[in-house]
A and B are shown apart, each in its own frame.
Chain A
Amino acid sequence: MLNFSKINTLIIYLIFFSVAIFSSLNFQNKDKKYIDKKINLGLDLQGGSYLLLEINSDSLIQEKIQDKLIPIKKILKENNIEYSNFKINKQSLLVEINDIEKFDLIFYSRKDNLINPYIDNYRSFELSYKKKNKNQIEINFSKFGLLTINNSAIKQSIEIVRRRIDDVGTKEPTILQRGEKRILIELPGLKDPERIKSILGKTAKLNFRLVSENDEFGIDKLISENDEELNVSKRIIMSGENLIDAQPNINNQNNEPTVSFTLDRLGAQKFGRATTDNIGKRLAIVLDGSIVSAPSINEAITSGSGVISGNFSFQEATDLALLLRSGALPTPLLVVEERTVGPDLGEDSIKSGTTSLIVGFILVILFMLYKYKIFGLIANTALIANLLMLIGFLTILEATLTLPGIAGIILTVGMAVDANVLIFERIKEELKTEKSIIHAFDTGYRKAKITVLDANITTLIATIILFAFGSGPVKGFAITLGIGIITTLFTAYFLARHLSSLVVLNTKNKEIKI
């Protein structure tokens, strides 16, 4: 075990240096980077906000099933199927029909099926139905229909969340899908997530609807910005989808902040027609079910642009414009987890983490020197090499260093010497019976190998499980500890062994003490 061919020696040091050199990249000048790789600091160290949002697809499904009502009625009429007692029951439709067999044929038709499209990806129809009673059936979305709705809702939500966050202008945001219904957002450096939360907390569904006493589409009673109760028609003249731009403005006459908007061609047409036909009436601008303002229509607006005023502060006007520009979220988003670390706590954590790392490192090094003298020096050299390789690997992977991650490094320092301790203790034992030092070292390294491997693999198993199940900072801990085990094995079994061989082979006498 002590014979190293030249080529082996070369390979060992080549591996060491090529990994360790990466650790230096973290000390590059910010403006002049040769290779743009570095260890990223986790939110707990640099400060920032972590938000986990969940879409609420229940309301969306209710909406979508309601949208099916009219087309289904139509198709039943067209095919002369008699129906009665059509009811909406949360996420399903209940109806009594006379000819279920005929209905089944139409419902599950693969050709031009407008009410129940076939989803090729999943080989399934969007809707399914089951018999409740003799004549009554219940129609709801199939498993894959729900999945399709959910998937498109989450994709759309992520897109809109991204637009809104980019619009606010935070640096380097991370926006990812987590699981089927969640969106993970990381906003490094953000001190206060309240504005972001309030912007993401609104679906921003904008409608223009007429105020009228009675209407064939039905009426909602809504409270206006001046606290009057208004009857607003359910008919939507135009919705936020037709907006192509919105900007905050200041009204020249009274210095009131307003939001001006521009409509697309279709929107301009609809808006123009509605305002022409309804001069003198009031138009309610409804955002997420409440009235922003309800001005009277004084003249036809055919230019395709308009102004919303509604007792805004300038900040509110800015945010409303932003929301309108980015479009409406398909469902409300709920903040299910929030973690914000202020920048000064992050700095404190870096400081205390680094201090404890340095102190722990020095304590271990001194202890090993005291215990093993010259071989302690070897173990310590291996330990420093280990640390450099660990940091090198973290840099190559551009891993995220968290506070628990720093703890993982310190723990690696404490546990890394174990491999060398195992080996040295084994050699000590061999020296008791073995005359030849070289032989004792050889046997020591050989016999300790299995133990060292077993011992480290058990820790590695725990680490891998931690990595798989841990979240955020804990994952950072698992990464450093896991990589630490690998670099430990390398430095103990190759670097330290080579150094030991140099010492042993060059000390020809038997004066070696371990």
Chain B
Amino acid sequence: MMNNKYNFSSKFKIANIFSLVLFVASVLFILFKGLNYGIDFKGGTLIELRANNTKASEIRTVLNNMNVGDVNVKKFGQEGDFLIKVEQKENDGNKITSQIKENLSDNLNTKINFRRVENVGPKISSELLQSGIIAISLSLAAMLFYIWIRFEWQFSIGSIIALFHDVVITLGIFSVLSLEINLSIIAAVLTIVGYSMNDTVVIYDRIRENLNKYNRLNISEIADLSINDTLARTIITSVTTLLALLSIFILGGEILRGFSFAMILGVIIGTYSSIFVASPMLKFLKVTFKTLEKEEEKIVP
């Protein structure tokens, strides 16, 4: 039965150490380096403009002369496109964007096309951050609950640890690379939660089935067998999802780039965690075929 297959369980230990190191490093980065919040969560003004004959430094000079607070100007996408971020000073939402636009138009000697102008006040940004955190927590809780209903509590714990692992490491990478966290990243994280759970459930389903079928095998062997059984599916689905995501990442334009990058990270980490985090957790929680016995009738379709 186990011929021609990969022995995953022998790698569990090394993988767990690897995961733990990544996890702890991510937590440290998030705590000490912090996350690079965009204006959605920090408040402030964002302007995307297109102007042919100007430089980032010129734009910076104009804005610094206005004394509006911390200013960040960078190239964005094609030549002549710039993204400007101005930190929130106080809530003067009625005027700040028009003042900035006026000043840029007056002082840069070129025609400016304001492609995108956003301003988020401090109240709204803290509300958005709060609802983002609630949404992610709630989705984790909902997953925990769903798995607890459909499986045993051990599976529920195992899957939630895998989810935490995915979310924290994805955010850790965002912290290391100083990538911006905005509303679409929250959407990406929630989708990662859904995807990673999806992946874990497929393997867990098979583990449950095999536990019932082969009660002579121990949990490591069952896990190995189940991971191998579903491996083709795991890979094919990851590939098609990644194909779609790569297409967004490369062709979908600047606005979707952060989102698709987070998703790509999440799909890779999520696939890894289903095999190397969620499955060994069951061994750690001492799952055997006896765990299922009480509810056997419920499980078999």
Contacts and interface: CB of A to CB of B under 8 A. Distances in A.
B75 to A, nearest CB: 16
Nearest to B199: A455
A469 B194 contact: no
Interface string B89-102: 00101100110010
A474 B237 CA distance: 24
Contacts, number: 231
B198 A336 contact: no
Interface stretch (B12-20, B24-32, B56-64, B185-193): B185-193
B258 to A, nearest CB: 11
A421 B146 CA distance: 23
A89 B48 CA distance: 46
Contacts of B117: 338-340
Contact of B94 (A201, A339, A450, A478): A201
B186 A454 contact: no
Residues of A in contact with B, size category: 35 or more
> Of residues A337, A371, A468, which shows the largest number of chain B Cβ atoms within 10 Å of its Cβ?
A337
B113 A363 contact: no
Contact of A458 (B94, B128, B201): B201
Interface in A346-366: 348-349, 352-353, 355-357, 359-360, 363-364
Interface stretch (A23-31, A142-150, A405-413): A405-413
Interface in B216-231: 229-230
A359 B116 contact: no
B93 A334 contact: yes
A469 B133 CA distance: 10
> Of residues A425, A456, A460, which shows the largest number of chain B Cβ atoms within 10 Å of its Cβ?
A425
A485 to B, nearest CB: 9
A337 B240 contact: no
> Of residues A52, A341, A462, A477, which shows the largest number of chain B Cβ atoms within 10 Å of its Cβ?
A462
Contact of B248 (A194, A410, A470): A410
Contacts of A335: 93-94, 119, 121
Nearest to B117: A340
Given A451-B201, A461-B142, A462-B193, A345 B48 contact: yes
A197 B248 CA distance: 35
A422 B232 CA distance: 9
A338 B119 contact: yes
Interface string A455-495: 11111111101101111111001100100000000000000
Interface in A413-457: 413-415, 417-418, 421-422, 425, 428-429, 446-447, 449-451, 454-457
Given A344-B113, A458-B197, A473 B184 contact: yes
Interface string A119-143: 0000000000000000000000000
Given A455-B198, A458-B146, A470-B187, A341 B116 contact: yes
Interface of A: 44, 52, 54, 192, 194, 197-198, 201, 334-342, 344-345, 348-349, 352-353, 355-357, 359-360, 363-364, 367-368, 371, 403-404, 406-407, 410-411, 413-415, 417-418, 421-422, 425, 428-429, 446-447, 449-451, 454-463, 465-466, 468-474, 477-478, 481
Given A336-B124, A418-B233, 8 more contacts: A339-B117, A407-B248, A411-B191, A466-B187, A468-B135, A469-B134, A470-B186, A474-B187
